[in-house]
Structure 1
Amino acid sequence: MSAWIQHIETMTPGLAYSQEYASRKMQEWIGDERRKRMIRMLYQKSGIARRHSVISSFDQNLPGDFFPIDGDGLRREPTTAERNSLYTRESRPLAVDLARAAIAKCPGIERSDITHVVTVSCTGFCNPGIDYHIITDLGLSPATERYHLGFMGCYAAFPALRMAKQFCQADPQAVVLVVCLELCTLHLQLSGSEDSLLANSLFADGAAAAIVSGRPPQAGRTGYRLGEFHSTLIPSGKADMAWTIGDLGFDISLSSYVPKIIGANIREALRPVLDGRQLKLDDIRTWAVHPGGRAIIDKVAESLDLEPEQVAASRQVLQQYGNMSSATVLFVLKQILAQTDGPMREPVCAMAFGPGLTVEMGLLEAERGAGHGVNRRCREEAVAGA
């Protein structure tokens, strides 16, 4: 039995700031000249234009400043407890608003239809958590099954979608709401370490939801049929991407070698996914590469001999939103469905990367609906007759 993504909804916090502004502020906070030069280089080469955050004031001398001035006139970093308190407060309304919008915009799906809620987050902890609040605040059935995947990182949307697919295959009546929510900016640090500076230049806040069921999309609607999923590890990169909980937020190890490691191994990692459908690389026109950074997209595209348009959606999401950890690949998949020049039906290969070094991949079939095909055919006929 097939399982389908019926709808993808995305949402970001209200505060948006440019990458240029973020670079200036980080240089102000970190006084060392060598590190200032590094910050300028990282932010200029990031491929990011703007990012979003739940932090309303970083350093504006307001009572809620994230980096307030202490008694010695220095910027004080919030403790892990203070950061997590912000997560607890801010994650609930964002998750509930996103879930409400996802259900409301999915034709044929009502709140009463939701049988499972799967939530994903690695940037904070609270219990009752966002899975509980989605059910209670939206008035879903108290019998709704709920599952939370935590502290996995950027690849976690794939285990969530795989879980949703399995629920739908086990129960034809299942309707699964998947919510990925990450508040990465809560873990900005002023330590000045190279790994911290790199992470500060990339990560942002955002959330995305997918509604999965055994029904194909309604006529004229877009969606994805979920195909094969595959997970693999690249042990040689274990030390290059990892994080632990420190006293001042999460301490991240994020080496600049990660893109090279991924690029050197991605062809072999993809083999089981493509072989399962007897496909070759040339059979895949569109790729949903998790935009962990510009260099990651570059290395994947280079290693797979992809044309720029084949990873265009990944670059657009990186530019507009930055790296929102687990939510990001759903932003990319939504962008791909919105492309007006794509075929009505096509295979899409999606992938994301995380600590371990873990590679998660999925083969999906995009369904763009009859209306999309008519519009595209009209444009093609107009071009042919010109």
Structure 2
Amino acid sequence: MAYIRHLETLVPATRYSQEEICEVLVGRAQSERSRRYIKKALGESGIVNRHSVITDFKNGEERLFTHADGSFREPSTGERNAVYVGEVRSLVPEIARRALANCPGISANEITHVVTVSCTGFFNPGPDLLVIEALNLSPTVQRYHLGFMGCYAAFPALRMAAQFCEADPLAVVLVVCVELCTIHMQTKEDLDSIVANSVFADGAAAAIVSAKAPGKGERCFGISRFASSLVREGANDMAWDIGDQGFNIVLSKYVSRIIGAGIRSIIDGVFAGSGMSPNEMLKWAIHPGGRAILDKVEGSLGLLPEQVGDSRATLAEFGNMSSATILFVLKRIIRDLETKDGDPICAMAFGPGLTIETSILHAVVS
């Protein structure tokens, strides 16, 4: 068996309330219709605060989105990516060091694999090498980067880690997700851009996965299984490509409806042959892509509010940090003293495709 031995999270220092962001976006809207929709989208998002590497709107300093006189500018993709590179060079080493320092019984010389995940920027040598350098790991450590996959990408990374551990009982895998979604903010007045501006945020998370059983006093997860699904009728409702002024995102209002309509049959397929039932899951770690998605999944599966409470709390406190977000949710669950040894948890996330990734975990409290 593979275990998620430790989860670590990190956010940029700059925090905006949803009201502050709303004021910025409303101030830049050109039509009354757009202003009304911005207020509605942000006001009904379920988000209270979000963190960002962008400081322009907090202290007035000239950086990416503002000229010296305070007027708004649309930076090029190259300018946005330059910010990504600079910030990732700080965030990735820090989250890697914290993850290792706070994981009992695991030392740097035991790490055999590094898997990094990001869909919000590019550079090479990339985040994987930053981890090697920060922890002074052996140059023989195997490195993998999963790029441009989206909000569900932590699941393929964890699946890879589990497979490495199943193949080699001595394997120890460090997974690092880092997403700087806010550098791609655009003030276009189409509904996709407004919805994206209302939910996305920045953050990083790390997981250490090993086959070594946890020691006394540890709280972690055992991994039971993973499953992947596609809802092809939603392929055009969640997507993005690279434009001249950042990444162009498609985030249709129909995504939550499509997920809600198909999630029951998908979950039934995930549990088929597992010897377990969805009704046995005490907690559901659902990627909080937005409040509407959580509402639809909760309603379609007949879940109780407390079963998805950690997802809603993560959304409120941090917003949608793409691939890193589900690790924030899982960290909340395992740190909750109400979570007991053996408690079953179903985790899931959504992304382009329309892809639904799922994992069945159980709490290990030794």
Q: Does the alignment pair 1:189 with 2:225? A: no
Secondary structure of the 2:173 match is: strand
What is the aligned length? 366
CA contact (8 A) 1:3 1:169 kept: yes
Give the secondary-structure state (helix, strand or coil) at the position aligned to 1:295. Answer: helix
> Equivalent residues in 2 for 1:109-128 (5 A)?
109-128=106-125
1:353 aligns with 2:339: no
Aligned pairs for 1:227-376 within 5 A? 227-369=224-366
Give 3-state SS (helix, strand or coil) of 2:19's partner. helix
SS in 1 for 2:331: helix
| Structure of greater Rg | 1
Equivalence map 1:7-22=2 (5 Å): 7-22=6-21
Residue 272 of structure 2: SS of its match in structure 1?
helix
Offset at 1:215?
1.1
Partner amino acid for 2:324? Answer: A
Q: How far 1:257 moved relative to its partner? A: 0.7
C-alpha displacement at 1:31, in angstroms?
Answer: 2.8
| TM-superposed deviation, 1:343 | 2.5
Cα-Cα RMSD: 1.3
Identity of aligned residues (%): 54
* Other structure's SS at 2:123 match: coil
Separation in 2, partners of 1:351, 1:311: 11
Output the TM-score relative to the length of structure 2. 0.97
1:65 CA drift (Å): 4.2
Say whether 1:35 aligns with 2:28. Answer: no
| Secondary structure of 1:141's aligned partner | coil
Structure 1 residue runs without a partner (length 5+): 370-386
Tell me the residue number matched to 2:159.
Answer: 162
3-state SS of 2:34 partner: helix
* Mapped contact 1:59–1:67 kept (Cα < 8 A): no
Pairwise mapping of residues 142-157 of structure 1 onto structure 2 (< 5 A)? 142-157=139-154
Distance 2:37 2:68 in 1: 24
Contact 1:68 1:77 in 2 (8 A): no
* Structure 2 residue runs without a partner (length 5+): none
After TM superposition, give the deviation of residue 61 of structure 1 in Å.
5.1
Counterparts of 1:207-226 in structure 2 under 5 Å?
207-226=204-223
* Rounded Cα–Cα distance in structure 2 between residues aligned with 1:292 and 1:62: 30
CA distance in 1, matches of 2:78, 2:109: 36
CA distance in 2: counterparts of 1:140 and 1:352, whole angstroms = 31
1:289-333 residue CA offsets vs partner (Å, 9 max, x unmatched)? 000000100000000000000000000000000000000000000
Provide Cα deviations, 1:117-145, integer angstroms capped at 9, x if missing partner.
00000000000111011101321111111
2:126 alignment partner in structure 1:
129
2:100 pairs with 100, 103, 109, which one?
103
For 1:307, give the aligned amino acid.
L
